[in-house]
């Protein structure tokens, strides 16, 4: 069964990559600034947020632009990927009705597409670090690890949302509200010290909080998170992935009756 | 058992035919509270069983809406039956909707690759077969034209050429022989005949009872989702014509 699934995935890998390339072409062909936009967008956001926080709130986080960008990068990847995935099965309705294709390809493709975008935006982080003369240390090059944790988590959540959205279309709206709350429950632009103790405890249940902290530790803090942090991150990722796969698998045969 | 290509056992397919589809949580909860959550089911196929032998040409006839396409979709794995089981022995190539998976903004060349991937071909395989696909579809001059500018006949030609470039163990054909012009229909029929001669198992649905009688060994007659007759082509087609 497992082996069959992998063989099937292997067979459709070309389709997966072709769909990713197609999305990338569409995204970058349509915007005048091309690839530069992926880098420019986080930079512009950074300028605005930095101006607000350092002048209005007198925030004193060290290297605030990088602090903000690292959080922003992870949060926007997660929300973009899940939102696109959520609509992906519906979007592929005409195809799903006519040919046999493994249906998980559609949310997975959106996650990969957004992951590529995140890597491009990561260039913005590097540029800012160079400009601000933030030292790039050897631990910096461990950045794929937190990205991988986040990716696995996102795929799991995307599968879950994509399947749920076929049956209940208003999940999209509920999820919009949910992500707003999620943003405030993730230390993207505020310092952790600002939070009261009970809030810090609440945040521990937020997987994104752990991924962002991990990412910042290696990019800014110049230290590798310990085994415990790794296990926590891995745990959240795997549990979400298993939930997502199980739910998607259970529901996928019914998709065609609802799309 | 080893000479069976497709085995369909007690397949029942039910569709949800509620007039107003409940597709959001709000309505779902409201209806749940009011106890109005009713599903009107529609049985498109009712306890269908048949085996198709290796190398056989198997036809399905019946009026519109009798469940022929649904049967083919279940055999191809596009639909999962509500009850019953389907076993398929060998690779399957469905010609159900030609050009499903075409992206109309892309050129014919790009679509050959895209559609090939949708059918699960590898990149190298498509490259290898590219010329023969183009030749069969007779679209050499239009390779770099977006297919939104194509006629439906041209799209069908391209779709047929891509889907039939492989030699599958089982070929599934749903009324596609009625698209395109007379010349192209002949060409398609010849290619299918070649595959049959090569030992490919074929399951075919066609409007033309003459075509079914001419091509098939055995025929299944569906009526409103139920099996009406199953037997030799001559016999079933004869009865079907005289109903
Ligand atoms: N996705 C679907 N949802 C609801 N009803 C469907 C669906 N697909 C087919 N049907 C119904 O099932 C019946 C059989 O359809 P079909 O198999 O296409 O018939 P045929 O190909 O013999 O003309 C029809 O009444 C059709 O309306
Ligand atoms: Mg039909």
Give the closest of A12, A99, A258 to B94, CB-based. A99
Give the pLDDT score at A222.
85
Kindly state whether A132 is in contact with chain B, defined as any CB-CB distance less than 8 angstroms.
no
Highest mean pLDDT among A113-117, B98-102, B147-151: A113-117
To probe the interface with A, which of B15, B20, B22, B24 has the most A CB atoms within 10 Å? B24
Residue B104 banded pLDDT, cuts 50, 70, 90: confident
Residue with structure tokens 């799309």?
Answer: A259
Average pLDDT on B126-136 reads: 95
List of chain A residues whose C-beta atoms are within 8 Å of the C-beta of residue B80:
253
Q: How far is the CA of B74 from the centre of ligand 2 (A)?
A: 13
In a domain, residue A2? The reply is: no
- Measure CB to CB from residue A169 to each of B24, B79, B80 and give the nearest one: B24
Q: How far is A146 from A119, CA to CA, in rounded Å?
A: 13
* Cα-to-centroid distance, B66 and ligand 2 (Å): 8
Q: Report the nearest-CA residue for atom 21 of ligand 1.
A: B69
Give the pairing of strands B83-88 and B226-232: unpaired
Closest atom of ligand 1 to CA, residue B222: 22
Task: State how far residue A257 is from chain B, nearest Cα, in angstroms.
Answer: 7
Calculate how close chain B gets to A201, using CA atoms only, in Å: 31
**Pocket lining: B66 vs ligand 1, CB cutoff 6 Å:** yes
CATH for the B4-91+168-241 domain, from 1.10.760.10, 3.40.50.300, 3.30.1360.200, 3.20.20.70: 3.40.50.300
Interface contact flag, A100 B78, Cβ < 8 Å: yes
Instruction: Give, for ligand 1, the residue of B65, B222, B228 to mutate: max count of ligand atoms closer than 8 Å to Cβ.
Output: B65
Hey, whose CA ends up nearest to atom 11 of ligand 1?
Answer: B44
Tens digit of pLDDT for each residue in B76-88?
999 999 999 999 9
DSSP annotation string for chain A: -HHHHHHHHHHTHHHHHHHHHHHHHHHHHHSTTTTHHHHHHHHHHHHHHHHIIIIIS----TTHHHHHHHHHHHHHHHHHHHHHHHHHHHHTHHHHHHS---TTHHHHHHHHHHHHHHHHHHHHHHHHHHHTT----GGGGGTHHHHHHHHHHHHHHHHHHHHHHHH-TTHHHHHHHHHHHHHHTS-SSS-GGGS-HHHHHHHTT-HHHHHHHHHHHHHTS-----HHHHHHHHHHHHHHHHHHHHHHHHHHHHHHHH-
Q: Measured between CB atoms, does A170 come within 8 Å of chain B?
A: yes
Domain range spanning residue A24? 11-257
Q: What is the pLDDT of residue B38?
A: 66
State the best of B25, B88, B162 to mutate against chain A, taking most chain A CBs within 10 Å: B25
In short, whether B67's Cβ falls inside 6 Å of ligand 1 is yes
Q: Enumerate residues 6+ apart whose C-beta is below 8 A from B172.
A: B72, B75, B76, B92, B93, B94, B95, B96, B202, B203, B204
Q: Identify the bridge partners of residue B60 per DSSP, sorted by sequence position.
A: B205, B220
Share of chain B above pLDDT 70, in %: 95
CA-nearest residue to B98 within chain A is: A98
Query: Which residue CA neighbors atom 25 of ligand 1 most closely?
Result: B65
Q: Which ligand is nearest to the CA of B225?
A: 1
A-chain CB neighbours of B123 within 8 Å are 14
Average pLDDT value over all residues in chain B: 89
Q: How far is CA A126 from CA A44, B126, B147, in A?
A: 15, 40, 42
Residue-level pLDDT, tens digit, chain A, 259 residues: 677 788 888 889 999 999 999 888 888 776 666 678 778 888 888 888 888 877 776 667 888 899 999 999 999 999 999 999 999 999 999 889 888 899 999 999 999 999 999 999 999 899 999 999 999 999 999 999 999 999 999 999 999 999 999 999 889 999 999 999 999 999 998 888 888 888 888 999 999 999 999 999 999 988 899 999 999 999 999 999 999 999 999 999 999 888 8
Cβ of residue B206 lying under 6 Å from some atom of ligand 1: no
Q: Residue B206: pLDDT above 90?
A: no
Q: Report the percent of chain B where pLDDT is more than 90.
A: 58
Instruction: Check residue A32 and give its pLDDT.
Output: 64
Q: Which residues of chain A are within 8 Å of residue B26 when distances are taken between CB atoms?
A: 170
Q: How many domains, in total, are found in chain A? A: 1
Tell whether the model's pLDDT for residue B178 goes beyond 70. Answer: no
Residue B31 has pLDDT above 80, yes or no: no
Residues β-bridged to residue B4: B53
Distance from CA of B75 to the nearest CA of A (A): 11
Least CB–CB distance from A98: residue in B16, B25, B100: B100
Verify whether ligand 1 is closer than 6 Å to residue B113 (CB atom): no
CB contact under 8 A, B96 and A98: yes
Q: Does A136 touch chain B (CB under 8 A)?
A: no
Beta-carbon neighbour count of residue B183 at 10 Å? 9
Residues that place a CB less than 5 A from ion ligand 2:
B 69
pLDDT at B1 exceeding the cut of 70: no
> Which of B20, B103, B118 is the best mutation test for A, with the most CBs of A within 10 A?
B118
A168 within a domain of the structure (yes/no): yes
Chain-centroid distance of CA A158 in Å reads: 10
Q: Which atom of ligand 1 is nearest to the CA of B67?
A: 17
Mutate to test the pocket of ligand 1, among B12, B13, B14, B15 (most ligand atoms within 8 A of CB): B15
């Amino acid at each position: 069964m497992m082996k069959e699934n992998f063989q099937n995935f292997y067979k459709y890998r070309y389709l997966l990559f072709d769909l990713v390339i197609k999305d990338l072409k569409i995204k970058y062909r349509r915007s005048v600034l091309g690839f530069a936009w992926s880098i420019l967008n986080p930079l512009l956001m950074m300028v605005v947020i930095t101006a607000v926080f350092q002048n209005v709130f007198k925030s004193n986080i060290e290297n605030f632009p990088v602090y903000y960008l690292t959080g922003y990068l992870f949060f926007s990847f997660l929300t973009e990927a899940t939102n696109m995935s959520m609509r992906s099965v519906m979007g592929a309705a005409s195809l799903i009705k006519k040919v046999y294709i493994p249906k998980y390809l559609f949310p997975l493709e959106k996650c990969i597409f957004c992951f590529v975008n995140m890597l491009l935006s990561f260039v913005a982080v590097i540029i800012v670090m160079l400009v601000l003369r933030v030292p790039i240390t050897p631990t910096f090059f461990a950045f794929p690890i937190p990205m991988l944790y986040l990716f696995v988590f996102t795929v799991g959540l995307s599968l879950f949302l994509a399947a749920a959205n076929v049956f209940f279309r208003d999940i999209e709206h509920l999820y919009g509200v949910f992500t707003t709350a999620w943003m405030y429950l993730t230390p993207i632009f505020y310092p952790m010290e600002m939070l009261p103790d009970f809030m810090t405890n609440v945040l521990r249940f937020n997987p994104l909080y752990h991924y962002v902290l991990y990412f910042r530790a290696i990019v800014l803090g110049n230290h590798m998170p310990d085994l415990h942090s790794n296990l926590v991150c891995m745990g959240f990722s795997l549990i979400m992935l298993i939930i997502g796969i199980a739910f998607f698998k259970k529901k996928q045969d019914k998709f065609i009756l609802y799309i | 058992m080893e000479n069976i290509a497709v085995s369909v056992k007690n397949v029942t397919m039910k569709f949800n035919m509620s007039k107003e589809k409940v597709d959001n949580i709000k309505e779902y909860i409201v209806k749940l509270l009011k106890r109005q959550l009713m599903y009107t089911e529609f049985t498109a196929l009712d306890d269908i069983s048949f085996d198709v032998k290796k190398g056989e040409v198997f036809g399905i006839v019946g009026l519109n809406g009798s469940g022929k396409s649904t049967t083919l979709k279940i055999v191809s794995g596009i639909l999962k039956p509500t009850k019953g089981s389907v076993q398929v022995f060998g690779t399957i190539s469905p010609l159900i909707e030609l050009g499903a998976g075409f992206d109309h903004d892309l050129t014919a060349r790009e679509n050959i690759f895209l559609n090939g991937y949708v059918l699960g071909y590898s990149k190298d395989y498509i490259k290898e077969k590219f010329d023969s696909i183009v030749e069969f579809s007779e679209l050499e001059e239009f390779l770099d034209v977006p297919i939104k500018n194509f006629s439906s006949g041209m799209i069908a030609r391209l779709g047929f050429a891509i889907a039939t470039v492989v030699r599958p163990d089982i070929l599934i054909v749903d009324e596609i022989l009625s698209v395109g012009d007379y010349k192209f229909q002949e060409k398609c029929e010849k290619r299918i005949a070649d595959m049959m001669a090569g030992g490919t198992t074929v399951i075919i649905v066609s409007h033309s009872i003459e075509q079914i009688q001419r091509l098939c060994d055995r025929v299944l007659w569906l009526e409103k989702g139920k099996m009406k007759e199953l037997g030799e082509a001559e016999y079933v087609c004869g009865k079907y014509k005289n109903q």
